[in-house]
Chain A
Amino acid sequence: GQNIDQPTEMTATEGAIVQINCTYQTSGFNGLFWYQQHAGEAPTFLSYNVLDGLEEKGRFSSFLSRSKGYSYLLLKELQMKDSASYLCAVRGLTTDSWGKFQFGAGTQVVVTP
């Protein structure tokens, strides 16, 4: 199985940078994904990593270290609309978990003026 941990809530000011950490323990790993979810809506894909290193997509970047079971999502130039829950999800690899996602509890980011 997979244990996925991320902080419950983070607060930052508009224009700042926030880093959301995610640690995981898994028996089979086939990628780590980050999603954004606004209240009452479905998650939207932000970024993913399969190999170690940094992936940059505009204001969002994600980093992965497989040996450490660690990832982070970096949000730069924060905007008010970035206030949302950010979900870390691990995709399974084993026969009975292929394609399955296990989600962390989510980190609620609050952006203040």
Chain B
Amino acid sequence: GAVVSQHPSWVICKSGTSVKIECRSLDFQATTMFWYRQFPKQSLMLMATSNEGSKATYEQGVEKDKFLINHASLTLSTLTVTSAHPEDSSFYICSARDYKLAGVGNEQFFGPGTRLTVL
């Protein structure tokens, strides 16, 4: 099956610093990737849609200047949390959409997640 990786798996940083999280589709091309955030015992909340070669689209309430998304290739999207604060501590999960499977059914594949802790 399709594999999506995320790096790093976990990261601890100081308040005010920036953190970059990578999401890679390892065996397929993903024109679209999605970034989610999950707080403890809560569901996944979609933050933004990352489209290869164009600007990301953000969900309502998500600050685009704080959560920078770059989707420079068909296999890589990055999320940069800028000037991180303790309230940004969360589990960040990406998913990648295999356009070849569009309309077939299960076309999105999730990465293993990145746990961010901001001190």
A100 to B46, CA, bound (A): 8
| Segment among B12-20, B63-71, B75-83, B108-116 that sits at the interface with chain A | B108-116
CB of B42 within 8 Å of the partner chain: yes
| Chain B: number of interface residues, binned into ranges | 20 to 34
**Shortest beta-carbon distance, B64 to chain A, in Å?**
16
Write out the residue numbers on chain B whose beta carbons fall within 8 Å of the beta carbon of A31.
105
CB of A103 within 8 Å of the partner chain: yes
Chain B 45-79 interface mask (CB, 8 Å, partner A; 1/0): 11001000000010000000000000000000000
Knowing A40-B115, A42-B110, A101-B108, say if A106 contacts B43 (CB, 8 Å).
yes
- Chain A interface, DSSP helix/strand/loop, else mixed: loop
Residue contact B44 to A100, C-beta cutoff 8 Å: no
Q: A residues 53-91 with Cβ under 8 Å of B?
A: 87
Residue contact B105 to A42, C-beta cutoff 8 Å: no
Write out the residue numbers on chain A whose beta carbons fall within 8 Å of the beta carbon of B49.
99-100
CB of A18 within 8 Å of the partner chain: no
Closest to B97 in A: A99
Residue contact B105 to A50, C-beta cutoff 8 Å: yes
Residue contact B113 to A42, C-beta cutoff 8 Å: yes
A37 to B42, CA, bound (A): 11
Residue contact A99 to B43, C-beta cutoff 8 Å: no
Residue contact B108 to A99, C-beta cutoff 8 Å: yes
Residue contact A87 to B44, C-beta cutoff 8 Å: yes
Q: B residues 88-119 with Cβ under 8 Å of A?
A: 91, 93, 95, 97, 102, 105-113, 115
Closest to B115 in A: A40
Residue contact B91 to A43, C-beta cutoff 8 Å: no
Which residue numbers of B lie inside 8 Å of A, CB to CB? 32, 34, 42-46, 49, 57, 91, 93, 95, 97, 102, 105-113, 115
Pairs across A and B, CB under 8 Å, 20 listed? A33-B106, A42-B113, A43-B93, A44-B110, A45-B106, A48-B105, A87-B43, A87-B44, A99-B32, A99-B34, A100-B34, A100-B46, A101-B34, A101-B44, A101-B95, A101-B108, A103-B43, A104-B43, A105-B42, A106-B42
Contacts A40-B115, A99-B32 given; 11 further ones with Cβ under 8 A? Answer: A31-B105, A41-B112, A42-B110, A42-B112, A44-B110, A45-B106, A48-B106, A87-B44, A99-B97, A103-B44, A106-B42
